[in-house]
């Protein structure tokens, strides 16, 4: 029997709805969620491919590449933590965690005296951000990053803005930026130079949409602009996490890793994000739904539920908190259940 269940896409911070198709209780694909207010039935390739997290999920716990039971794996984690200097233990959370999970991870780290690390693409938490409708109705849209390619459902709003008569000014890292195809003016400069060049065109009817900056100074400059701003994060709940945990810059994250002997990573792939010699860390413990570059080098891996197997909420780029429910049942422990075990 075919069944369709609603949930949220986990692939970026746009916050699109996505339908998951089940056949006789097995997940077989996705289907457009036509009534969802963010994406109205459109899902990008990243969203459709997000099923791979579930399709490639761990079936069992892994310790030093040997199969074992989950309780035994958690006992191994507790043993490592019991002999570690708490000042040299770092806990990593990310925008892949739900709101409740981030609260639990933060509470766990603080109660044990561990360091906590959270990286949000070097972007800030702007309290008052542009809505997606604001993007469509802007007179000028200043785009930093290849939004049409990397965040297509925001890119769709930028296309609508152009159709509504807006001028599009785009900054890209390469000449091959897809966003350049619809832009009135294109740039390959620094963010500072791009904003300086645009200074006389930015007013209260403009919107700056961006998914990267070059430095903290860029964020300060964007903050001072007399227009609406919309930072778009690479992970689904980075904006929500920023309401709970202070984000670190890339440099601060590297410094944290330099001073870490035991590293706990909750549902993130930091090896892919940071150019760092992780061999300097004595023990790496990953809590992950499926294999990634970080689990490959981890000493202990504890499987966790995938996004399709749990309830929770994400805060999207424009600040709306959206709840989601489990699409399929699972006996795998959630991050919160694992933290409860680690807390004893």
**Nearest alpha carbon to residue 266 among 305, 221, 232, 297:** 305
Block mean pLDDT (10 aa), the chain, length 344: 92 94 91 87 88 86 57 93 97 98 98 97 89 97 97 96 97 94 96 93 95 93 94 97 95 97 98 96 97 96 95 96 95 95 90
pLDDT score at 42:
87
Residue 110 Cα distances to 104, 107, 178, 208, angstroms:
10, 5, 43, 36
Helix then strand then coil, in percent of the chain rounded to 5, is: 35, 25, 40
What pTM, to 2 d.p., does this model score?
Answer: 0.93
| Residue 150 CB neighbour total at 10 angstroms | 19
pLDDT score at 61:
54
For residue 35, which phi and psi values (nearest 5 degrees)?
Answer: -95, 0
pLDDT score at 67:
45
pLDDT score at 182:
97
Cβ neighbours of residue 179 under 8 Å, at least 6 residues apart? 143, 145, 146, 147, 148, 149, 155, 158, 168, 170, 172
- H/E element, 288: strand 283-288
Question: Helix/strand/coil (H, E, C) string of 191-255?
Answer: HHHHHHHHCCCCCCCEEEEECCCCCHHHHHHHHHCCCEEEECCCCCCHHHHHCCCCCECHHHHHH
pLDDT score at 65:
47
**Nearest alpha carbon to residue 10 among 329, 268, 292:** 268
């Amino acid at each position: 029997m075919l069944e369709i269940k609603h949930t949220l896409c986990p692939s970026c911070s746009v916050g699109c709805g996505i339908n998951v198709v089940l056949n006789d209780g097995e997940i077989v694909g996705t289907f457009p969620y036509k009534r969802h207010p963010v994406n109205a039935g459109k899902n990008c390739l990243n969203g459709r491919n997000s099923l791979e997290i579930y399709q490639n999920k761990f079936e069992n716990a892994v310790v030093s590449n040997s199969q074992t039971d989950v309780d035994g794996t958690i006992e191994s984690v507790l043993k490592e933590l019991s002999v570690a200097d708490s000042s040299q233990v770092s806990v990593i959370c990310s925008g892949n965690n739900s709101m409740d999970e981030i609260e639990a991870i933060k509470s766990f780290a603080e109660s044990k005296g561990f360091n906590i690390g959270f990286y949000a693409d070097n972007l800030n938490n702007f309290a008052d951000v542009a809505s997606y409708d604001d993007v469509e109705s802007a007179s000028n849209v200043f785009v930093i990053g290849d939004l049409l390619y990397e965040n297509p459902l925001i890119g769709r709003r930028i296309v609508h803005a152009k159709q509504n008569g807006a001028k599009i000014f785009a900054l890209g890292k390469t000449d091959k930026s897809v966003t350049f195809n619809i832009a009135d003016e294109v740039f390959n400069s620094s963010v500072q130079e791009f904003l300086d060049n645009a200074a006389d065109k930015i007013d209260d009817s403009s919107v700056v949409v961006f998914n990267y900056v070059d430095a903290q100074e860029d964020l300060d400059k964007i903050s001072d602009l007399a227009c609406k701003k919309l930072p778009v994060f690479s992970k689904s709940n980075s904006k929500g996490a920023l309401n709970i945990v202070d984000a670190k810059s890339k440099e601060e994250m590297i410094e944290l890793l330099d001073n870490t002997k035991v590293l706990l990573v909750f549902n993130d792939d930091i090896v892919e994000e940071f150019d760092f010699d992780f061999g300097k860390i004595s023990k790496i413990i990953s809590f992950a739904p499926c294999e990634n570059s970080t689990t490959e080098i981890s000493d202990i891996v504890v499987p966790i539920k995938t996004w399709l197997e749990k309830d929770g909420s994400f805060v999207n780029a424009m600040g709306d908190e959206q709840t989601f429910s489990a699409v399929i049942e699972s006996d795998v422990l959630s991050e919160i259940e694992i933290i409860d075990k680690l807390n004893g």
